Structure 1
């Protein structure tokens, strides 16, 4: 009768598995495994940090619609924006450009000067949002090949041992070769989340970039018109319909 201790010892003595593949693969197998672990850790770290960063900017966009455009002046509105936020940076750069325009010696159109400043500001924000995505793309494209390299080395070592032992039966070949394929599986496990995360974050970055571009355009129109031009949504909410004055004359109120 087999005791539980004997059953556990038999399970732990399994000659195949990840640890057995690493021990048999030597330094190369361990190097491939460590590289894949580092790639996976970097992938998940970048995915979570970029997701949090994008969500913060999206939440700021919601507050800008209600807080910033509802103030009488830009100076009042900028105080309601979070410090070190993307939208605060755009407004600060716009105000700075407006002040610098008055100090220029050569005449430059204010429209072009503000447009260039706001374009540089939005480009800097979009560039910051895109940092780290190249790592995800690199991991997604190279991790399968790193795992495949470990598999090739594992199969090579297994075939060398089988040839030296002179055993070419199915049980002698299938075990070591199947064990070497673990590295390919690890490479795919690392690559698939990186590719999916990259595509998802790029799509969210496009949404954030569109919102920032719209805000910069609205701010540009507001500044060059001295506050006469505001976003349509705010103007529609702020404008209240004035009922026609009925004095009994059709000339004053034709629809009366």
Structure 2
């Protein structure tokens, strides 16, 4: 009996487990491909955008040069946030001195960028954590039904047990096959994203120091 035949002859639980593993695999691979593309472009883009900023003569002149490199829009939001008026006087947004308002808007911009860099990490962690247990559930359920079927068919021999039990163990293997790429991607992407976030935090700190001290010309 091949795997597809075993799946076709399975009950609702067996098919549900298989479909759930398939859905988790597809979702995790979509996130992996998307995040790989994002992070590969983001790392080099942020470094080049920072270099373009510091080589510019003014804030306004820095934006076009940064946009040419920062195609994922990670460093640009920090500069744009720093150029905006954080709020009118008489409101909490406009309270405090210029340095405090600048710190607030840069922190908000960093939080937005960090959420984008971390997008999909929860899904990868979830898939990596529960996929083996979903596969194990399919295995246990398959072994149970295999043993019930064997007990109703006369004498039980090792040959009759090995086939159905071996086919049920395929679900555990499938769960591991879904979980391992998700766990590896979670760890690797988390490390890369952490380095990019640290780079952006350093840039935000330098930008705050520059603008809080009087700032460069804007035009």
**TM-score (norm. length: structure 1):** 0.77
- 1:72-98 deviations in Å (ceiling 9; x for gaps): 1111112222277111111111100xx
Shift in Å at residue 29 of structure 1? 1.5
Task: State how 1:22-41 maps to structure 2 within 5 Å.
Answer: 22-41=7-26
Task: State how 1:107-256 maps to structure 2 within 5 Å.
Answer: 108-227=96-215
> Structure 2: how far apart are the matches of 1:85 and 1:24?
51
Contact 1:21 1:154 in 2 (8 A): no
Task: State how 1:37-116 maps to structure 2 within 5 Å.
Answer: 37-82=22-67, 85-96=73-84, 99-100=85-86, 103-105=88-90, 108-116=96-104
Q: 1:165 to 1:80 in 2, by over 3 A?
A: same
Shift in Å at residue 56 of structure 1? 2.4
SS in 2 for 1:165: coil
SS in 2 for 1:114: helix
List structure 1 segments (4+ residues) > 3 angstroms apart after TM superposition: none
**TM-score (norm. length: structure 2):** 0.90
Structure 2's unaligned 5+ residue stretches are: none
Structure 1's unaligned 5+ residue stretches are: 1-14, 229-256
Higher relative contact order structure (alpha carbons within 8 Å, sequence separation ≥ 6): 2
The RMSD of aligned alpha carbons is: 1.7
> Structure 1: how far apart are the matches of 2:14 and 2:74?
45
In the other structure, the counterpart of 1:19 is 4
Q: Which has the larger radius of gyration?
A: 1
